């Protein structure tokens, strides 16, 4: 298949720069989304979507922290070790006992091992797409990508919306904060011709539901969220006068050219202004409010501080926060070579620290029962180790994922794999099932439809709810 030529739409090219607070700066506050603003008729859409025969959740989860382990963690080096397999399969790591009798995980997840009584470990995730980009779409949206088994197709308006975008649609935040925040970047793979993974934005719902992108290294002592402060020489009154002038200019523009893009931009701008002026919002994004001990417990690295920020945001009322494994310059969890050293030294330690600290914090703050924690990649790794470089290749046919909190049954192992962790032998779970279960646990109707920007109906999800995983 030849690589198709694509055009990336990076936003309007006609922003004026005559003002100290420009449209672009305001968009930085909302980064990629109006975050729940936009379409009307929500009650009618909810009623139309309530076509499921599933029993509604009596107490839906309030929030979800979705930790996306971009690159594809090896099931054999995380939560489904096979110590009795041949050497060319089992690898270098040993299993250890955990808080749950009879449940073993990798010896390098020493902290998470103490919290398995809060986890549901899924050992039977499976699909047949070995491409990062299209399988990433399925993981983040609950739908197959427009083009499957492809690393050449970048994001487009045909993508299904990220589960955070769906949350924004059904549960818009009324407290000045966004409904969907992603950090610290949009997952991208330099070896994939398409670059950025699809499924990380509003897709067919429209750009009003893209979500806020919180970029940068949150472990940097100089890090501040872009756009949440004003220049030193500008107070709120001066900002409001500039906003009034911009509104007048926008009204003139709309009289000449009405478009959906214009409507989405207006909602971006409105939310940006609300966020700039809100002490509550600024406090939510202020990591300096956390003690040094807490920051150390999560790990003084970009992943640990992103997970800590996620806890702060859900604590302040953001219903969906997606933490994407960051750009580490080493191809993330995509361990085609030097798998064991990468896992032991670079990947597992920060992942172990952050996840254990998050579970502890949510439990101690009384938030775990109402907050779902999801930890998953787009696929797993091939059981047979590559001899010449000690790597593992892509393997979508069997891999692991975690769920905890928010109505998820704790201390269980769901599904099972064969003796090499190559294929499920019990209770196979698709990425669509995984996403659908999260949405159902959050009270989102999963069996109905929603209209796109041209009023065409789309299924909200395409998987099934894993009822045996719910309390």
Within a domain: residue 23?
Answer: no
Within a domain: residue 249?
Answer: no
Within a domain: residue 243?
Answer: no
Within a domain: residue 239?
Answer: no
Within a domain: residue 442?
Answer: yes
Helix, strand or coil, per DSSP, at residue 193: coil
Cβ proximity of 458 and 452 under 8 Å: yes
pLDDT of 399 > 50? The answer is yes
CA distance 264 to 259: 9
Residue 247: its pLDDT value, please?
56
Residue 41: its pLDDT value, please?
38
Within a domain: residue 281?
Answer: no
Within a domain: residue 306?
Answer: yes
Within a domain: residue 118?
Answer: yes
pLDDT of 2 > 70? The answer is no
Q: Residue 338: pLDDT band by 50, 70, 90 thresholds?
A: very high
Please tell me the total count of domains within the chain: 1
Cβ proximity of 96 and 113 under 8 Å: yes
Which tens digits make up the pLDDT trace of 255-311? Answer: 555 444 445 545 555 565 566 657 889 899 999 999 999 999 999 999 999 999 999
CB-count exposure of residue 233 (10 Å: 0-12, 13-18, 19+):
exposed
All residues at 6 or more sequence positions from 446 whose CB lies less than 8 Å from its CB, including other chains: 52, 54, 436, 439, 440, 460, 461, 463, 465
- 405 sits in the region (left: phi over 0; alpha: psi -120 to 50; else beta) called left
Of 179 and 252, the structure prediction assigns the larger pLDDT to 179
pLDDT of 46 > 80? The answer is no
What's the CATH code of the domain at 332?
3.40.720.10
Rounded to the nearest 5 percent, the helix, strand and coil shares of the chain are: 35, 15, 50
Is the link from the previous residue into 82 a cis peptide, with omega within 30 of 0?
no
Residue 7: its pLDDT value, please?
31
pTM reported for the whole predicted model: 0.83
Residue 463: its pLDDT value, please?
97
- Strand-strand pairing, 320-324 and 371-376: unpaired
Give the chain's count of helices (H) and strands (E): 13, 16
CA distances to 29, 94, 108, 350 from 344, rounded to whole Å, are 37, 12, 7, 10
- For 108, the domain range is 45-219+292-469
């Amino acid at each position: 298949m030849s690589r198709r030529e694509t055009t990336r739409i990076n936003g309007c090219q006609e922003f004026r720069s005559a003002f100290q607070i420009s449209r672009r700066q305001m968009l930085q506050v909302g980064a990629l989304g109006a975050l729940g603003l936009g379409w009307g008729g929500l009650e009618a859409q909810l009623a139309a979507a309530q076509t499921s025969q599933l029993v509604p959740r009596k107490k839906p989860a309030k929030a979800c922290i979705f930790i996306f382990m971009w690159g594809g963690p090896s099931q054999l080096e995380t939560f489904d070790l096979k110590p009795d397999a041949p050497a060319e399969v089992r690898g270098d790591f040993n299993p250890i006992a955990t808080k749950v009798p009879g449940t073993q995980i990798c010896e390098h997840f020493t902290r998470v091992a103490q919290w398995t009584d809060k986890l549901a470990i899924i050992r039977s995730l499976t699909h047949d797409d070995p491409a990062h980009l299209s399988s990433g779409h399925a993981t983040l949206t609950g739908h197959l990508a427009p083009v499957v088994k492809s690393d050449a197709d970048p994001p487009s308006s045909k993508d299904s919306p990220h589960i955070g975008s769906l949350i924004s649609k059904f549960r818009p935040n009324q407290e000045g904060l966004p409904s969907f925040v992603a950090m610290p970047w949009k997952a991208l793979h330099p070896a994939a011709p398409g670059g950025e993974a699809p499924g990380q934005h509003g897709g067919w719902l429209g750009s009003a539901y893209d979500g806020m992108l919180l970029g940068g290294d949150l472990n940097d002592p100089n890090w501040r969220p872009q756009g949440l402060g004003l220049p030193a020489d500008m107070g709120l009154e001066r900002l409001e006068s500039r906003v009034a002038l911009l509104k007048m200019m926008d009204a003139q523009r709309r009289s000449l050219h009405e478009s959906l893009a214009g409507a989405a931009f207006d909602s971006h701008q409105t939310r940006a202004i609300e966020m700039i002026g809100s002490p509550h919002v600024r406090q939510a994004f202020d990591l300096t409010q956390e003690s040094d001990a807490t920051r150390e417990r999560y790990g003084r690295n970009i992943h640990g501080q992103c997970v800590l920020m996620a806890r702060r945001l859900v604590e302040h009322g953001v219903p969906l926060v997606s933490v994407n494994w960051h750009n580490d310059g080493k191809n993330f969890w995509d361990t085609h070579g030097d798998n064991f050293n990468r896992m032991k030294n670079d990947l597992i330690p920060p992942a172990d620290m952050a996840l254990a600290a998050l579970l502890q914090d949510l439990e101690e703050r009384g938030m775990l029962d109402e907050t779902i924690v999801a930890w998953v990649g787009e696929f797993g790794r091939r059981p047979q180790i590559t001899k010449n470089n000690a790597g593992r290749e892509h393997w979508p046919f069997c891999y692991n994922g975690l769920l905890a909190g928010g109505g998820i049954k704790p201390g269980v192992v769901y599904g099972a794999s064969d003796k090499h962790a190559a294929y499920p032998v019990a209770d196979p779970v698709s990425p669509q099932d995984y996403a659908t279960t999260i949405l159902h646990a959050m009270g989102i109707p999963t069996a109905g439809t929603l209209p796109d920007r041209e009023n065409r109906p789309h299924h909200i999800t395409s998987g099934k709810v894993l009822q045996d995983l719910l309390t």
